[in-house]
Amino acid sequence: MRVLFMGPPGAGKGTQAALLAQRLGIVHISTGDIFRSNVSQGTPLGLRAKAFMDKGEYVPDDVTNDMVRDRLAQPDAEAGFILDGYPRTVAQVLELDGMLADSGEQLDAVIELTADTDELVTRLSKRAQEQGRTDDTPEVIRRRLEVYADSTAPLIALFAERGILTAVDGLGAIDDVTARLVTALAN
């Protein structure tokens, strides 16, 4: 199963993608996690990405696309994956289309995890206190929500046109949301 998780920062993509991937026995690939791990290891990729992430901006497409191409080529992604946080721009969608076409694969589903803006800001502010992510400050949170609305929200329409989009309500208890996702993917 090849699934994309979309939705604004704070919608719970990372949490739910990890739970669901475990349940389905496929890998969870989060571009944000890969960037953060590169930042903490001080790799050249991490140094390049950090400047963008700390401002709430997207890392340039060429950097991100190459990273995802490498990750999807790993053997553990062959059986399927949940891709969380990619694609986020039209150029990334086209790039992903190409990657999948090269290996004769296609997406099975795109999930849009939804939550209203007040809830997103509350969750991200709480995470800032708990985890100290450098991009969870009020100013950067605002910018990330703006960048999502400008650059990524339009992709939802694109996947809806392709007939593979399902919106799932991200509000409520974690287990309840997981159950909704399981149902959505079974249909």
Give catalytic residue positions: 13, 88, 127, 133, 144
Residues composing the chain: 187
Distance CA 99, CA 93 (A): 10
Type and span of the H or E element at 181: helix 174-186
3-state secondary structure string across 123-171: HHHHHHHHHCCCCCCHHHHHHHHHHHHHHHHHHHHHHHHCCCEEEEECC
Using CB under 6 A, which of 5, 81, 86, 159 touches ligand ADP?
A: 86
71 lies in the binding site for ligand ADP (CB under 6 A): no
Residue 112-151 contact track with ligand ADP, rule CB under 6 A, x = bound: -----------------------x--------x-------
Residue 87: asked if its preceding bond is cis (omega within 30°), the reply is yes
Taking the complex as a whole, how short is the minimal distance between the CB of residue 187 and ligand ADP, in angstroms?
25
CA 2 to chain centre: 13
SS3 for 61? helix
Nearer to ligand ADP, 129 or 187 (CB): 129
- Choose one: 40-48, 81-89, 107-115, 177-185; the region binding ligand ADP (CB under 6 A): 81-89
> Taking CB under 6 A as the criterion, which residues in 4-63 touch ligand ADP?
9, 31-32, 35, 52-53, 56-59
Which residues of this chain interact with ligand ADP, rule CB under 6 A? 9, 31-32, 35, 52-53, 56-59, 64, 85-86, 88, 92, 135, 144
